[in-house]
Copies of this chain bind each other. A is one copy, B any other.
Amino acid sequence: MTIDELETPAVLVDLDVMERNLARLASYAKKHRLTLRPHTKTHKIPELAKRQIDSGAKGVTVAKPGEARVMAEGGLGDIMIAYPLVTPPKARAAAELARDRAICVSLDSAEALEALSQAAVAAGSRIGVLVEIDVGFHRCGVGSPEQALSLARHAMGLKGLEFRGLMFYPGHLGKPPGEQTAGIADVSRCLAAHYETFQKAQVEIPVMSGGSTATAYRSHEFSGVNEIRPGMYLFNDRNLLSLGVCSPEDCALHVMVSVVSTAVPGRTIVDGGSKTFSSDRSKGEKVTYGLIREDSHTDFIALSEEHGHLDTTHSDRKFQIGERLHILPNHVCVTVNMHDQIYGVRGNTVEKVWQVKARGKVQ
């Protein structure tokens, strides 16, 4: 099958670029002795998770027990659920998976610890626990080394659980440079304080899990980190491009759309809107919804649900009804999540049709 036979909108992954991205980060992680545990939220496809393992990752990361189940069914055996599971059904789902594979869960409350311990005891399994710490993003995570130590000790005293270490998400470092109020050095100081407190208490921190794609190639600068969980690095996207994290030739994923209307002067309408791309905005001052590979002078200025509004007033290009365009989405994780399947292509050939199997999970 060639891409010309696909109906639009269609999410296309350039396999050559993706394979280069997979190899590059794996090589970086190996060089710096960092355990690689990619977050599969970006693709939600077991086959791609396995390719990440084959290229050197130790395990994978998911956000929900239902996603973990899909990955487990796809052959993945070492899964971190990087989300606090506070309800008994979710804790039970994790505990059941933990019977015959390595499952660990991150959390920041006694309530989550107790729910997980009860579920593990009932399932006769053992779940690894990472205590989440807040290093400045102010989303989840306890706010002091003492609180982290207290939760670690709580975990160590509960049946069915095994304290594995600490985890954090440095989301605040993924902002444009002008909006950043802290840097990697601040995070490193925060981690050092945790190591000091735990050392005094003679509690080991086997795993210090951090990282994201925005800081992936600077992970070695976070002193004390020994595991990273980047998600987007295999595809990259427009926001990472804007941050200078990747270059245009590193962007593996584009959305192929068709021009459906050119009736309004100065506008070209394509068949992808917020239900194709998501409504995630670009970072920075001028808000647009993706980059059009075929014409950098045309701006993707607005989204309806099924219409993408392109402003052609600064371009000499004449768009034709039915013509296909390739758009680099702002945020690749939420774009893939809109689709039931995406395509792996090499040149004009569609080599892979991947079902986005772990999308839409509640539990």
CB distance from A274 to the nearest CB of B (A): 6
Chain A interface main SS type: loop
Instruction: List chain B residues, Cβ under 8 A from A139.
Output: 261, 264, 267, 269, 304, 307, 309
Q: Is the CB of A321 within 8 A of B109?
A: yes
How long is the Cα–Cα vector from A109 to B261 in the complex, in angstroms? 7
Within the assembled complex, what's the spacing in Å between the Cα atoms of A30 and B247?
A: 58
Residue of B nearest to A134 (CB): B264
Tell me which of A196-204, A215-223, A236-244, A275-283 binds B.
Answer: A275-283
Residues B264 and A141 in contact, CB atoms below 8 Å apart: yes
Interface size class of chain A, counting residues whose CB lies under 8 Å from the partner chain: 35 or more
| A337 within 8 A of partner (CB) | yes
Q: Is the CB of A7 closer than 8 A to any CB of chain B?
A: yes
Q: Is A102 an interface residue (CB 8 A)?
A: no
A-B contact pairs, 30 of them (CB 8 A): A8-B362, A63-B306, A83-B260, A83-B306, A84-B261, A87-B258, A87-B322, A108-B261, A109-B261, A115-B322, A132-B263, A134-B264, A139-B261, A139-B307, A140-B261, A140-B263, A140-B264, A140-B269, A141-B261, A141-B263, A142-B263, A143-B263, A143-B265, A274-B280, A278-B279, A279-B280, A279-B334, A337-B338, A338-B360, A339-B360
A262 to chain B, nearest CB (A): 7
Q: Is A326 an interface residue (CB 8 A)?
A: no
Hey, which chain B residues are within 8 Å of A258, CB to CB? 86-87
Give the copy number.
2
Return A141 CB to nearest CB of chain B, in Å.
Answer: 6
Closest 6 CB pairs of A and B: A111-B321, A108-B263, A140-B261, A7-B363, A340-B360, A279-B279
A9: CB under 8 A from chain B? yes
Contact call A9/B362, Cβ cutoff below 8 A = yes
Tell me whether A64 is interfacial, beta carbon within 8 Å: yes
Name A296-334 residues within 8 Å CB distance of B. Answer: 304-307, 309, 321-322, 333-334
- Interface presence of A56 (CB below 8 A): no
A77 interface residue (CB < 8 Å to B): no
Task: Decide if A41 is an interface residue (CB 8 Å cutoff).
Answer: yes
A89 and B41 alpha carbons, distance in the complex (Å)? 32
Smallest Cβ distance from A189 to chain B, in angstroms?
Answer: 18
A277 to chain B, nearest CB (A): 10
Q: Which residues of B contact A109 (CB under 8 A)?
A: 261-263, 321
Question: Which residues of A224-270 have CB atoms within 8 Å of chain B's CB atoms?
Answer: 258-265, 267, 269
By a CB distance below 8 angstroms, the chain B residues around A274 are 278, 280, 334
Which residues of B sit under 8 angstroms from A142, Cβ to Cβ?
263
B-facing residues in A270-294 (Cβ within 8 Å): 271, 274-275, 278-281
Closest CB in chain B relative to A249 CB, distance in Å: 26
CB distance from A229 to the nearest CB of B (A): 13
Could you tell me the distance in whole angstroms from the C-beta of A155 to the nearest C-beta in chain B? 15
